């Protein structure tokens, strides 16, 4: 889980770095494009001049071709006239030749000028073209890095999800086991505590012997149980176990106990879902008057018998 989180953080850092480099490359690319546009605007007139020069060159070449044709037609007479032979009649061939020569020199000069401008434009454009090529390559590299970073991020995210799912599954299984163990412990504590806190029904020690509630006719029924007498040495009585709370409230239970008992072990109600049984409380106990007198008489009789013996 920690390794997956670190990989995800590294992937996020790589993605941020790649994004910053992509923005820088985009700025360089925009600058290169602006420079290229400026150069293009400068080259446009040169291109038009080149077109005009080429047209002029074509025209000159056509004129030169016509001159050669004319020279061929003039033959020796043209050559003699060109050499200044006075016997050859004058013609317009020399004037045409001179004009063609001037036109050719002009075209050659224009072509040389255009070639120089074209070379200058190529030299000026080369750095911008190089920057554009480098920016394009940087952009491609950054895209590859971003793709790789996103792949790492996706892998880290998937690993994190898998780890989280596995942890959630394990936590769920642990929770189920813990809940089952808790339920088993609660049942165990409840069963053991209920066995200790249960009231007998046979009149032995711990049996409830209080009067029932008055019925709808106002008639009071007999006590719920008669306390058994377990012998002269262990007389029983129906007595009251009591406890006073701090606010003055008195809690009372009437139960069968030995006549000699002065305390009663009270088991508080077991809270729902308790994992530990509550601590039993010790209450004061005393026999109800009639039973207490009977118990006292029995105790006196026993004492007298003991002394006589």
The structure's pTM equals: 0.39
Same domain, 162 and 247: no
pLDDT bin (cut points 50, 70, 90) of residue 90 is very low
Half-sphere exposure of 165 (CA within 13 A, CB side): 6
| CA–CA gap between residue 30 and residue 129 (Å, rounded) | 12
Among 123-132, 168-177, 181-190, 246-255, the least confident range: 123-132
| Tokens 């709370």 -> residue | 245
Last residue of a domain, one of 144, 172, 200: 172
The more confident residue out of 35 and 246 is: 246
Question: Is 78 domain-assigned?
Answer: yes
- We report the CATH number of the domain holding residue 17 as 1.10.287
Same domain, 18 and 108: yes
| % of the chain surpassing 70 pLDDT | 80
Please state the domain count of the chain.
Answer: 2
Last residue of a domain, one of 122, 146, 172: 172
Q: What is the DSSP letter of 224?
A: S
Same domain, 123 and 17: yes
Q: What is the pLDDT of residue 284?
A: 93
Question: Is 31 domain-assigned?
Answer: yes
Question: Is 195 domain-assigned?
Answer: no
Same domain, 66 and 165: yes
Tens digits of residue pLDDT in 63-81: 888 877 666 555 555 555 5
The more confident residue out of 301 and 94 is: 94
Question: Is 21 domain-assigned?
Answer: yes
Q: What is the DSSP letter of 213?
A: P
Question: Is 226 domain-assigned?
Answer: no
Same domain, 43 and 128: yes
Same domain, 258 and 159: no
Same domain, 166 and 243: no
Question: Is 242 domain-assigned?
Answer: yes
The more confident residue out of 159 and 91 is: 159
Element (H, E) at 214: none
Q: What is the pLDDT of residue 235?
A: 81
Do β-strands 250-258 and 281-287 pair in parallel, antiparallel, or remain unpaired?
unpaired
| CA–CA gap between residue 25 and residue 131 (Å, rounded) | 10
Q: Do 291 and 238 touch, CB atoms closer than 8 A?
A: yes
The first and second tokens of residue 74, run together, are 């003039």
Read out DSSP for 71-96?
A: HHHHHHHHHHHHTT-TTSPP-SHHHH
Question: Is 210 domain-assigned?
Answer: no
Same domain, 11 and 107: yes
Same domain, 113 and 257: no
Question: Is 188 domain-assigned?
Answer: no
Tens digits of residue pLDDT in 196-227: 888 888 888 889 998 888 888 878 788 878 88
Last residue of a domain, one of 153, 172, 191: 172
Mean pLDDT of 9-35: 80
| CA–CA gap between residue 234 and residue 231 (Å, rounded) | 5
- Which residue range forms the structural domain that includes residue 109? 2-172
Same domain, 244 and 144: no
Same domain, 142 and 289: no
Tens digits of residue pLDDT in 270-308: 898 888 989 999 999 999 855 444 444 444 444 444 444
Same domain, 152 and 21: yes
């Amino acid at each position: 889980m920690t390794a997956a989180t670190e990989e995800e953080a590294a992937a996020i850092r790589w993605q941020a770095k790649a994004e910053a480099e992509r923005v820088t490359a985009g700025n360089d690319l925009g600058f290169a494009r602006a420079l290229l546009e400026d150069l293009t605007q400068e080259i446009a007139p040169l291109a038009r001049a080149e077109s005009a020069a080429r047209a002029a060159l074509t025209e000159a070449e056509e004129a030169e071709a016509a001159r050669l044709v004319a020279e061929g037609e003039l033959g020796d007479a043209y050559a003699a006239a060109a050499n200044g032979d006075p016997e050859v009649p004058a013609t317009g061939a020399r004037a045409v030749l001179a004009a063609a020569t001037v036109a050719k020199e002009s075209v050659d000069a224009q072509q040389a000028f255009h070639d120089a401008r074209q070379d200058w434009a190529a030299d000026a454009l080369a750095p911008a073209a190089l920057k554009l090529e480098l920016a394009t390559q940087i952009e491609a590299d950054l895209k590859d890095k971003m793709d790789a970073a996103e792949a790492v991020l996706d892998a880290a995210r998937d690993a994190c999800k898998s780890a989280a799912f596995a942890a959630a599954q394990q936590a769920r299984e642990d929770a189920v086991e813990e809940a089952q163990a808790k339920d088993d412990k609660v049942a165990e504590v409840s069963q053991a505590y209920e066995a200790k806190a249960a009231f007998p029904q046979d009149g032995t020690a711990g049996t409830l012997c209080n009067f029932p509630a008055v019925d709808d006719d106002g008639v009071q029924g007999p006590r719920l149980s008669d306390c058994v007498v377990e012998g002269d040495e262990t007389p029983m009585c129906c007595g009251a176990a009591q406890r006073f709370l701090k606010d003055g409230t008195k809690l009372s239970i009437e139960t069968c106990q030995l006549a000699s008992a002065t305390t009663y072990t009270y088991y508080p109600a077991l809270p729902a879902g308790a994992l530990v049984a509550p601590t039993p409380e010790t209450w004061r106990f005393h026999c109800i008057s009639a039973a207490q007198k009977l118990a006292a008489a029995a105790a006196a009789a026993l004492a007298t018998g003991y002394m006589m013996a």
